[in-house]
Amino acid sequence: MLGSGNLATNLSLSLKKAGLHICQVYSKTQEHAKELAGLLDCEYTTTPEKVFNADIYISAVKDSVCTEVWDKIKFNNKLVLHTSGSLDMQLLKDYSNNYGVLYPLMTFTKKRHIDFTDIPILVEANTLKNCESIIEIAEKLSKKIQIVNSIQRAQMHMAAVWANNFTNHMYAIAKSITEKNNLPFSLLLPLIDETAWKVHDIEPIEAQTGPAVRFDENIINKHIKACPQEYKQLYKTISESIHALSEHKK
């Protein structure tokens, strides 16, 4: 396992739980390498040149440093996987004849251990045989495997930014509004949950309610006026986008 961040931690713990043997953790940060190796009961190293020979190498280091790490490892033509939403699979072709991608479509935090069973895993490989090998690993983790190409994976990563990072920012803004008004953010949690649950049953575009989709300029203007200065423009831009989408639907 190359890496010891949020994804490396969650993924390697789930792989171990699924019965796979992780022989070693590499991380450039001694403290993180040691901590994860402790959880996995395996060896660790902070020197890429000292990475053990293995049957499978799973890279979960940051996109920006991965080639720098890979450059120093001898992969002996064994199966090398990366786990990134954005990195082109072909980056791996200089390192082994056997390579692919195992991308779990999820947001990870070290302290929140997530059950992989329902996490969709997007799989890509350079050969059919390698694809089968990756699927075999993925199926030990999850019920939801989807074979994709690099373009689809990059697009899903972007869709995930909307569904996760941008959504979370909407929560952060809502929280700052509740705080400014001495009200608990927890009042919004049932609404946040229902908003998420609703799109399991109803298309998001059909589920839309509120002043923007009704184009209720009276309330929109009241809200922009009452909105914290730094979010006024964003309120306006998103409202316009909601209205444009609902017009396009008609």
Residues numbered 88 to 117 that lie near a copy of itself (CB under 8 A) are: 105-109, 112, 114
For residue 197, how many C-alpha atoms fall within 13 Å in the half-sphere facing its CB?
A: 6
53 versus 241: smaller Cβ distance to a copy of itself: 241
Q: Which of 18, 23, 65, 183 binds a copy of itself (CB under 8 A)?
A: 183
120 near a copy of itself, rule: CB under 8 A: yes
Could you tell me which residues come within 8 angstroms of residue 105 by beta carbon, excluding any fewer than 6 positions away?
A: 85, 119, 120, 121, 122, 156, 160
23 near a copy of itself, rule: CB under 8 A: no
Q: CA torsion, points 138, 143, 144, 147, in degrees to nearest 10?
A: 40
230 near a copy of itself, rule: CB under 8 A: yes
Residue 48 and residue 26 in contact, taking contact as beta carbons nearer than 8 Å: yes
In the chain, the amino acid numbered 165 is N
Site for a copy of itself in 33-62 (CB under 8 A): none
Residue 27 and residue 47 in contact, taking contact as beta carbons nearer than 8 Å: no
Q: How many residues bind a copy of itself (CB under 8 A)?
A: 93
213 near a copy of itself, rule: CB under 8 A: yes
Quote the least distance from Cβ 206 to a copy of itself, whole Å.
9
Quote the least distance from Cβ 210 to a copy of itself, whole Å.
4
